Amino acid sequence: MNKFILLIGSFMISITTLQAQQTDRKGGDPKLTEQWVPEPKIVTPGKTAADAPSDAIILLGNNMDAWEAKGGGPAKWAMENGVMTVVKGAGEIHTKQAFGDCQLHIEWRTPAEVKGDGQGRGNSGVLLMGKYELQVLDSYNNRTYSNGQAGAMYKQLPPLVNVCRPPGEWQTYDIIFTAPRFYEDGSVQSQARITVLQNGTLVQNNATIWGGTQYIGISNYEKHPEKLPLVLQDHGNPVSFRNIWVRIL
């Protein structure tokens, strides 16, 4: 009888040991996988997705102070009630501050009065680091080459879908941009990548950028600084912009 009790006791101990081992294989103490440091800093979000969070840099609010002309000096685009509009022939403008990896919010509007077609209709562009162009175009019932319409990385990557609003209505780009990295000898360590939501809809999904934007020929990379200004293009059409802000990543 005593031997039987000892056998049962030994069996129960073995079961308990096996259960403990299984628990250890599943992770054991849950505190071992808890990370407390570093603690994420507190950032106050905007009331809406379009509002700048507390750590954003405002690039366009009620003035154009963050911008200058291509050759230096004041930007010569029109500004009224927080809306900045391309003045034909004034040339591209760029930010005074340089950026690399970033989150960028920008709102744009093509003219309500439709003139021209294809690339001649509401054309502008957002050039990340002044080199990688996200096309701005009136692509509402306006067929052009797919890698040249709104939401495209110009002459490289067509948008996943066309979500353009009618002419004269405000549209949004929310951009996550990862700058390229270069080795000392100028060769590419990692290509630039971009995610874009146009009007809240995904149009570029962590896409690999081929190189600097080219109108003619194949894009390629040339070594450049880790940070460069953001550029807005003057393509001769009175495209308007408002509520531009950026977060450095």
Q: Residue 122's closest CA among 104, 134, 140?
A: 140
* CATH class entry, domain 57-248: mainly beta
pLDDT band at 217 (very low <50, low <70, confident <90, very high): very high
121 phi/psi in degrees, rounded to 5 = -120, 100
158: part of which helix (H) or strand (E)?
Answer: none
pLDDT of res. 4: 45
Q: What is the mean pLDDT of the chain?
A: 92
Read off the amino acid at residue 129: M
pTM of the model: 0.87
Measure the CA–CA gap between 103 and 128, rounded to whole angstroms. Answer: 11
pLDDT tens sequence across 46-67: 999 899 999 999 999 999 999 9
Which residues lie across from 79 on neighbouring strands? 84
- Residue 218: its pLDDT value, please? 92
**Count, residues in the chain:** 249
- The pLDDT confidence band at residue 27, using thresholds 50, 70 and 90, is low
Interval 159-194: pLDDT, tens: 999 999 999 999 999 999 999 999 999 999 999 999
Token pair 């990692």 is found at 190
Q: How sure is the predictor about 28, in pLDDT bands with cuts at 50, 70 and 90?
A: confident
Per-position DSSP letters for 57-105, written without gaps between them: EEEESSS-TTEEETTSSB--SEEETTEEE--TTS--EEEEEEESSEEEE
Residue with tokens 């096309």: 135
d(CA 231, CA 110): 18
